Amino acid sequence: MYGKAPKEYLSLWSVIALGIGSMVGAGIFALMGQATLMAGKNVYWSFILGGVAALLSGYTYAKLGSRYPGSGGIMDYFNEAFSHKTLSGALTLIYLGTLVITVALVAKSFGAYASRLFLPDRAVTIYSTALFASVAILLLGALNMGGARAVGKSEVIMVAFKLLILTVLMLASFGSSVPVGADPIPVKGLDGLLGSVGLTFFAFAGYGMMANTAGNLKNPSRTLPRAIFMAIGLVLALYLILSYVVLSNVPATSLESHTETAVAQAAYPVLGMWGFMAVSVAALIATASAINATMFSMLDISRALARNGQLGAIFKQPFWGHGTEGFFYLLLGILVMTNAFNLVAIANLAGACFLISYLAVFVAHWRLRKETQGNALLIILGFLLMLFILGAFFYQMFFSQPYLIPLIVLFVAACFILEFLIRRKIAKNVPGVS
């Protein structure tokens, strides 16, 4: 049903590396400062709430991925759960669009770190940031066209390197924590905590992409659940420890002026300039691996959509290596988005669309729970917690960036309209198809 088994298989550690690479990217290096600024010393609870939601959702992904081990991932789950193909196709397009937006977001973060690391301050401009970001997109796009084995091996190397640097930072911080004196990061109220949960969940959101590796696993029912839970658990522990490092070493005024580089800023008191540079290198590795893993998911989903007639034939037309013409055009679209749009707006759009997509996955799992033998209570708890996070996310945007809400509605509506037009065209060409 899901095609011939691939000749190349990903190992357990390759899948875990893909998951960590997807999560520990722009999420921690770009959003840690903003989440801490909003939640203050309650940022621990914000990460715990986001992590619990990720674990519950990871359970759903593990059950669905084990039962339907196709490379299409979320697309397969929607197609199995919803008989109305316009609905399942539109939900998949929302997710695919979210991945495209996410790559643009992470690439902008990569470009910012690269500019600050490799260029003198006077030479850092929006153009230098755009140049570094564009090079990363093209190089990692070419790597993904090289095939699953190249992606898996590269992720293991990149994840190991960035975790090594972060481990040195954390050990040094525990050994010689520098007091923030009379300018500590304060405890914020409930509004700040609730508003930050959407950001902290986004820092975990990449775990869903691990399900797309099921088609490249020798024993998905065993490997996928272990990989998902291990990756989320390791990332949750990492985020909590890094929260401690930031709270212990970054004064409130410094956090406000260096929000986007809070993790690297925390290295100054304990490791000096060399520590700042090392953490900046880790940020480059983290964002690069996040782009790499996200592109892997994009390629698989777009190819599967084309096979099902939900995207044009160019998404299955060979371009170079394992890549398709459609994937190449997606890369061009990412380049345009990266160089044309504001990072904050892209982050909020991507976060909201991730939550919408993952809520739909809970609904799909509920409808398929007998086939997956899923626990009904865990599905309900996960759905309610994620619905709460989405509500808190919109609550925060209503007061801080209200113009983004209609943009999110417009994006979702556009996906449904596009899928309706695609299905209508198919119905005309193939009678009896709805």
pLDDT per 10-residue tile (average), the chain, 434 residues:
55 81 70 81 89 93 86 79 85 86 85 81 78 87 67 63 72 59 68 80 82 77 88 91 80 69 69 76 80 78 73 70 77 85 74 88 94 92 93 84 88 87 70 52
Question: How many CA atoms are closer than 13 Å to the CA of 1, on its beta-carbon side?
Answer: 8
Q: Are 71 and 214 in contact (CB under 8 A)?
A: yes
Q: Determine how many CB atoms are found less than 10 A away from the CB of residue 5.
A: 11
Measure the N-to-C terminal CA separation of the chain; round to a whole number of Å: 20
Quote the pLDDT of residue 58: 92
Quote the pLDDT of residue 6: 47
Any domain includes 4: no
Could you tell me the pTM of the whole model? Answer: 0.79
Three-state secondary structure call for residue 318: strand
d(Cα 303, Cα 327) in Å, to the nearest integer? 8
Quote the pLDDT of residue 25: 65
Beta carbons within 8 Å of 268's beta carbon, 6+ residues apart: 249, 275, 276
Residue 203, beta-bridge partner list: none
Quote the pLDDT of residue 179: 53
Residue 324, beta-bridge partner list: 318
> By C-alpha distance, which of 260, 240, 250, 269 is closest to 42?
240
Phi and psi at residue 187, to the nearest 5°: -85, 125
d(Cα 331, Cα 337) in Å, to the nearest integer? 10
> How many domains in the chain?
1
Q: Determine how many CB atoms are found less than 10 A away from the CB of residue 110.
A: 30
Any domain includes 32: yes
Number of helical H runs and strand E runs in the chain: 17, 0
d(Cα 255, Cα 248) in Å, to the nearest integer? 12
Q: Please report the sign of the dihedral spanned by the C-alpha atoms of residue 200, residue 206, residue 211, residue 214.
A: negative
Any domain includes 434: no
- The whole domain housing 221 covers 12-429
Quote the pLDDT of residue 223: 86
* CATH number where 233 lies: 1.20.1740.10
Any domain includes 5: no
Any domain includes 124: yes
- Tell me which DSSP letter residue 2 carries: -
